[in-house]
Structure 1
Amino acid sequence: MTTDLRELRDAEWDGWFDKVDLAFGGVHEPPEGRALWRERTEVARSFGAWADGDWVGTAGAFSFWLTVPGGDRVAAAGVTMVTVQPTHRRRGVLRSMMRHQLADVRARGESLAVLTASEPAIYGRFGYGAATQELRLGVDTLRLAPPDLPGIDGVRLRLVDPAQSLPDCERVYEQLVPTRPGMLARRPGWERMGVYDPESERDGAGKLQCVVAEVDGEVRGYARYAVNPEWDHAGPCGAVRLRQIDALEPVVYAALWRYLFGIDLTSWVSVRGRPVDDPVLHLVADMRRCGIEVRESLFVRPVEVGEALAARTYLTPVDVVLEVADPFCPWNEGRWRLSGDAKGASCARTTDAPDLALSVRELGSAYLGGFALSALAAAGRVQELRPGALQAASVAFGSDVAPWLPHGF
């Protein structure tokens, strides 16, 4: 059976997206959500594997700008909607799509590809490394005192319509993008995904609500949430399902959390996708009552090693020769001299003796500062070839704040 890679045509989107739905369990996206994904789809970056007059594989990408250590933004392809139908597994379909896509990313001048993985074990062989982590919290609001900071009573809170508040909330988000590696600067329209609230996905909770926090009449933070009412023999024990929370100052963040603690008929707040250094852990007296879980989130793949490493800054001065293995994208293989500090960096080919040996996957994991090169070396995935090189490079690659992906794609 012949399988060919083919670019998506505009009129074919419905059939192509049907295959995405089918691969993820066959539960069709509600019409509103389908329309949102249709608007977000960049048809020129979408393609698939074609056999016997139908799609047997799909893949696409979104055009993002990714914040890197130092606060600059780097063009990145947000890999998405990657599927292979079960009739065509283990025939090289995924490999051919990944190879085609990375060549296209390179041709577009993007030095990074990023993705979130439904099955993380798949993507390491294509050079993607887990680069950020996320917290999942279940905060016990009955046993913990609500957050309190000086000036908290000066923050005004207002319940607003989630859709109508989008411009104010997006201005807050945009100001936060440069402050943390891993955050996405997105094209207009993406903010609408944050208020998409189909009843079929509420899991028993009520409709989406939004509270904004104002200081001197200006919106400085917001929280989107829904309440899941529950009762037991002792009375109400509902949950606040927190969807998003952003704030520009600590006192505003504390005020939003104090509000969430005080919602009637609830006894806990659950939230996913928070940074691992979330300040809420230090706004409460007992972290153990926050039900902390950690998992990986964003996967990063350097597509042009030299450009990617030169695009970020480094916590401490670094001068290291990296022996990079990348058989999937052989243009990256070989030795690279990275020289940089907190002001900038350069990375170029060299014939000098290597100091560290690693694959492009490890570079992806270390790139945003979320995983230390020393930790990867302890797992046997980075080899130190010059004594002292590992510690110096590991510190330099770090980030003073944890990298964080604010939302999926």
Structure 2
Amino acid sequence: MLQRDEWDVWFGQLELAFGGVPELAQGRELYRSLTEPDRSLGVWDGEQCVGSASAFTFRLSVPGGALVPAAGVTMVGVSPTHRRRGVLRSMMRRLLDDVRTAGEPLAVLTASDPAIYGRFGYGTAAYAMAVEIDTTRVRLSVPPGTDEVAVRLADPEKALPDCERVYAELVARRPGMPARRPGWDRYVVSDPPEGRDGASPLQCVLAEGPDGEIAGYARYRVKPEWDHSGSEGRVEVVDLDALDPAATAALWRYLFGIDLTWTVRAGRRPVDDPVLHLVSDVRRSKPSLRDSLHVRLVDVAAALTARTYAAPLDVVLEVEDAFCPWNEGRWRLVADGAGSAVCTRTAEPADLELSVRELGSAYLGGTALTSLAAAGLVRELRPGAVVRASRAFAGDVAPWLPHGF
């Protein structure tokens, strides 16, 4: 367990492991305030810290809207002088043992190098989309009611309560979103001047419905750029959340119309973001994907019981999990398709065989078991079992992690 007076040395080791560039002062203090020392590990060689790892205490939304306890594994790094000595493996072992002891069914992370964590049982469960929209060539088609939504600028700090109310309402609607604990609202408005790369301070716009209630918000920066022909500015969207289609469209329309800008760039959007259907030209919006949230089932039975399923299902899963052997073996998952599910150990013949990594990929409903089977990662032992299970595991919306941790 990390001692509070060790934090600076411990975090300095993490900075070194990520290339030696110091974290900006504001970001450093934010991470200090969010670090949970009793969930943080340090590996020491004498007085030198050579390894770091930590976990945040989260509740993560899963299909059906339940909030499931999850450890947000973070700040993992090993000194370049101590690579390939088992330091990372020992920290992963301790973290997952502690997660199990705490009774958390899930561990989740974002990966600086996604090739690392598969061997510890993490599967890619959610992807993020980036868009770079040429607003000189791409038009928006907005739904009825958009003109009834008023947009107004607001101070990002003062608007936090309204924005957090919108975010909290959205959490249960989309798997993969963490319910924000105290202090995490500071994370989403952190705005150190040194980190803007020439862009403006963080700005905020609120969408107000006809009833006067705040129905959405967007936080963004404007980066002015000029050449011999005039302005070439762009809007850099930090986040955009809304409760209904009209508010969503009103916010995008506002961002498209900011003076002296010709590009709207947004990263970390859900892969099914409605903006793809509002724009007139998807190609000139340049959508691109990358992995985002990696999920690890620490307690198979509890995790599979916690979520709902899109169709009735009775399937026996043969789960491989060498790193957490308590998950190894056969599990019978029975779901009624209406919200109730039970997962228990069984000696019955298996219908599907897969590793806990593939189970993590499919857990939030965004990766189809049929797709994993087509890659040879899920093995069908009873004809038709893959299709039936894939339909049941599928979600109505794509899972999404709206911010890092």
Tell me the TM-score normalised to structure 2 length. 0.98
Determine the C-alpha separation between the residues in 1 that align with 2:42 and 2:392: 40
Determine the C-alpha separation between the residues in 1 that align with 2:61 and 2:338: 15
CA shift, 1:375, in A, is 0.7
Q: What's the counterpart of residue 351 of structure 2?
A: 355
Letter in 2 for 1:387: P
Aligned length: 403
2:364 is aligned with 1:377? no
CA shift, 1:66, in A, is 0.5
Q: What's the counterpart of residue 366 of structure 1?
A: 362
Could you report, residue by residue, the CA deviation over 1:66-103 in whole angstroms, capped at 9, with x for unpaired residues? 10011111000000000000111000110011001000
Determine the C-alpha separation between the residues in 1 that align with 2:91 and 2:132: 39
Report runs of 4+ in structure 1 exceeding 4 Å deviation. none
Letter in 2 for 1:59: A
Tell me if structure 1 keeps the 8 A contact 2:140–2:280. Answer: no
| Bigger Cα displacement from structure 2, 329-338 vs 17-26 | 17-26
Aligned match for 1:176, one of 170, 179, 191: 170
Determine the C-alpha separation between the residues in 2 that align with 1:190 and 1:38: 12
Q: What's the counterpart of residue 388 of structure 1?
A: 384
Aligned pairs for 1:110-259 (under 5 A) are: 110-215=104-209, 216-259=211-254
Determine the C-alpha separation between the residues in 1 that align with 2:106 and 2:340: 18
Q: What's the counterpart of residue 268 of structure 1?
A: 263
SS of residue in 2 equivalent to 1:121: coil
SS of residue in 2 equivalent to 1:192: helix
Aligned pairs for 1:61-100 (under 5 A) are: 61-100=55-94
Q: What's the counterpart of residue 300 of structure 1?
A: 295
Tell me if structure 1 keeps the 8 A contact 2:107–2:295. Answer: yes
Aligned pairs for 1:6-17 (under 5 A) are: 7-17=1-11
SS of residue in 2 equivalent to 1:131: strand
Q: What's the counterpart of residue 310 of structure 1?
A: 305
Determine the C-alpha separation between the residues in 2 that align with 1:142 and 1:342: 47
Tell me if structure 1 keeps the 8 A contact 2:200–2:221. Answer: yes
Letter in 2 for 1:294: L
Determine the C-alpha separation between the residues in 2 that align with 1:13 and 1:342: 47
2:264 is aligned with 1:288? no
Aligned match for 1:344, one of 316, 340, 344: 340
Gaps of 5+ in 2: none
Determine the C-alpha separation between the residues in 2 that align with 1:371 and 1:92: 31
Letter in 2 for 1:359: S
Letter in 1 for 2:246: V
Determine the C-alpha separation between the residues in 2 that align with 1:147 and 1:33: 39
Letter in 2 for 1:71: G
Aligned pairs for 1:330-341 (under 5 A) are: 330-340=325-335, 341=337
CA shift, 1:156, in A, is 1.3
Determine the C-alpha separation between the residues in 1 that align with 2:73 and 2:390: 28
Tell me if structure 2 keeps the 8 A contact 1:67–1:73. Answer: yes
Determine the C-alpha separation between the residues in 1 that align with 2:402 and 2:320: 30
Letter in 2 for 1:331: W
Determine the C-alpha separation between the residues in 2 that align with 1:203 and 1:316: 48
Determine the C-alpha separation between the residues in 1 that align with 2:371 and 2:146: 40
Amino-acid identity (%) = 63
Could you report, residue by residue, the CA deviation over 1:200-220 in whole angstroms, capped at 9, with x for unpaired residues? 221221111111111232211
SS of residue in 2 equivalent to 1:185: coil
Tell me if structure 1 keeps the 8 A contact 2:138–2:285. Answer: no
Could you report, residue by residue, the CA deviation over 1:236-272 in whole angstroms, capped at 9, with x for unpaired residues? 1211000010111110010000000100011110011
Determine the C-alpha separation between the residues in 1 that align with 2:366 and 2:43: 34
Determine the C-alpha separation between the residues in 1 that align with 2:140 and 2:370: 38
Determine the C-alpha separation between the residues in 1 that align with 2:261 and 2:299: 49
CA shift, 1:369, in A, is 0.8
Determine the C-alpha separation between the residues in 2 that align with 1:63 and 1:110: 9
2:394 is aligned with 1:406? no
Could you report, residue by residue, the CA deviation over 1:378-399 in whole angstroms, capped at 9, with x for unpaired residues? 1111100011101100111100
Tell me if structure 2 keeps the 8 A contact 1:302–1:364. Answer: yes
Tell me if structure 2 keeps the 8 A contact 1:70–1:342. Answer: no
Aligned pairs for 1:18-29 (under 5 A) are: 18-29=12-23
